[in-house]
């Protein structure tokens, strides 16, 4: 049974949410495929389902901590996935909003909390967020145009200079951070990374290492 607080108030959207909450991943994928076949408009059902699952998690945290910053997170998820607001968030938002509008609180930060910790260096944080992606893209580009280029210190130094990062070890760490994010599945033998889980078999090997192992076993017999 779905907690009433997770649903929007009676009215439009409630039935829609009840349906999303009743799906599992398999159902969400099936509905997504049907929606794509029909050239569906708006946000796809799979993503709306993922959003709804995130709402469940945020509500669990909110029940424990009552942290009003979670309301902002919910507003983001609902906006991104065209989902109606769960009741707990609707109530929490109105309460916080009124505090500011009725002159009982000075700023949004006073009701929702600071979005960034005090003393956060925005420039550094922004670089940490943006540069890994740029480093990865630039290295992919270089390797496409110059296929013989090795991924080594010289390359990191070159790219680090180009992108104004400077230190080659920092450039290197950005590259591997992004690689891990984009290709999270790693073969335990050759250590190559892959974007999809099905590229690694149940023994943790990629297809090429699997073939090699099979050939090796055959020769050994
Ligand atoms: Zn491998």
pLDDT at 220 over 80: no
Q: What is the pLDDT of residues 119-168, one digit of tens each?
A: 999 988 998 899 999 999 999 999 999 999 999 999 999 999 999 998 88
Domain end marker among 64, 82, 112: 112
- DSSP of 10-48, one letter per residue? SSTTHHHHHHHHH--HHHHHHHHHHHHHTT--SS-HHHH
Task: Judge if 82 and 132 occupy the same domain.
Answer: no
113 Cβ partners below 8 Å, 6+ apart? Answer: 67, 68, 69
Task: Judge if 22 and 74 occupy the same domain.
Answer: yes
Query: Which one, of 1, 45, 44, lies nearest residue 20 by Cα?
Result: 45
Rounded to the nearest angstrom, the distance between the alpha carbon of 183 and the centre of ligand 1 is 14
Residue 56, CA distances (Å) to 33, 49, 170 in order: 24, 11, 37
Domain end marker among 112, 139, 162: 112
The two tokens of residue 70 are: 């979670």
Task: Judge if 168 and 80 occupy the same domain.
Answer: no
pLDDT at 221: 60
Task: Flag whether the pTM goes above 0.75.
Answer: no
Rounded to the nearest angstrom, the distance between the alpha carbon of 34 and the centre of ligand 1 is 35
Task: Judge if 124 and 108 occupy the same domain.
Answer: no
The two tokens of residue 69 are: 């910053």
Task: Judge if 172 and 74 occupy the same domain.
Answer: no
Rounded to the nearest angstrom, the distance between the alpha carbon of 207 and the centre of ligand 1 is 7
Residue 27's domain spans which residues? 4-112
How many domains does the structure of the chain reveal? Answer: 3
Rounded to the nearest angstrom, the distance between the alpha carbon of 122 and the centre of ligand 1 is 40
Rounded to the nearest angstrom, the distance between the alpha carbon of 186 and the centre of ligand 1 is 8
Rounded to the nearest angstrom, the distance between the alpha carbon of 156 and the centre of ligand 1 is 24
Task: Judge if 221 and 135 occupy the same domain.
Answer: no
Rounded to the nearest angstrom, the distance between the alpha carbon of 213 and the centre of ligand 1 is 10
Query: Which one, of 101, 100, 118, lies nearest residue 110 by Cα?
Result: 100
Checking phi first, is residue 141 left (phi over 0); if not, alpha (psi -120 to 50) or beta? alpha
* Total length of the chain: 221
Task: Judge if 106 and 16 occupy the same domain.
Answer: yes
Answer yes or no: are the C-beta atoms of 172 and 156 closer than 8 Å. Answer: yes
Query: Which one, of 108, 86, 83, 172, lies nearest residue 136 by Cα?
Result: 172
Rounded to the nearest angstrom, the distance between the alpha carbon of 211 and the centre of ligand 1 is 9
Answer yes or no: are the C-beta atoms of 149 and 141 closer than 8 Å. Answer: no
Question: How would you classify the pairing of strands 185-186 and 193-194?
Answer: antiparallel
Give 1's pLDDT tier (boundaries 50, 70, 90). confident
Rounded to the nearest angstrom, the distance between the alpha carbon of 120 and the centre of ligand 1 is 41
Rounded to the nearest angstrom, the distance between the alpha carbon of 184 and the centre of ligand 1 is 14
DSSP-assigned letter for residue 1: -
Task: Judge if 104 and 46 occupy the same domain.
Answer: yes
Task: Judge if 25 and 89 occupy the same domain.
Answer: yes
Q: What is the pLDDT of residues 24-42, one digit of tens each?
A: 999 999 999 999 999 888 9
Task: Judge if 74 and 37 occupy the same domain.
Answer: yes
Rounded to the nearest angstrom, the distance between the alpha carbon of 216 and the centre of ligand 1 is 14
pLDDT at 219: 79
Q: What is the mean pLDDT of residues 5-28?
A: 93
pLDDT at 107: 97
3-state secondary structure of 179: helix
Q: What is the pLDDT of residues 53-97, one digit of tens each?
A: 999 999 999 999 889 999 999 999 999 999 999 999 999 999 999
Give 12's pLDDT tier (boundaries 50, 70, 90). confident
Q: What is the pLDDT of residues 160-204, one digit of tens each?
A: 999 999 888 999 999 999 999 999 999 999 999 999 988 999 999
Strands (E), the chain: 185-186, 193-194
Rounded to the nearest angstrom, the distance between the alpha carbon of 147 and the centre of ligand 1 is 20
């Amino acid at each position: 049974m779905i907690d009433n607080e997770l649903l929007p108030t009676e009215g439009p959207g409630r039935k829609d949410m009840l349906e999303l909450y009743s799906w599992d991943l398999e159902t969400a994928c099936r509905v997504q495929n049907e929606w794509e076949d029909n050239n569906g408009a708006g946000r796809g059902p799979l993503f709306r389902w993922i959003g709804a699952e995130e709402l469940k998690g945020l509500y669990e945290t909110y029940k424990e901590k009552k942290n009003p910053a979670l309301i902002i997170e919910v507003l983001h998820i609902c906006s991104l996935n065209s989902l109606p607001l769960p009741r707990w968030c609707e109530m929490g938002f109105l309460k916080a909003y009124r505090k500011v509008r009725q002159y009982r609180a000075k700023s949004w930060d006073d009701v929702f909390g600071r979005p960034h910790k005090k003393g956060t260096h925005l420039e550094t944080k922004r670089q940490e967020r943006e540069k890994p992606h740029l480093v990865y893209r630039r290295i992919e580009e270089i390797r496409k145009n110059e296929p013989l280029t090795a991924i080594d210190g010289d390359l990191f130094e070159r790219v680090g200079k180009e992108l104004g990062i400077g230190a080659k070890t920092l450039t290197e760490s950005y590259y591997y951070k992004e690689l891990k994010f984009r290709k999270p599945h790693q073969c335990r033998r050759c250590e190559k990374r892959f974007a999809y889980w099905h590229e690694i078999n149940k023994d943790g090997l990629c297809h090429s290492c699997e073939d090699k192992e099979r050939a090796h076993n055959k020769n050994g017999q």
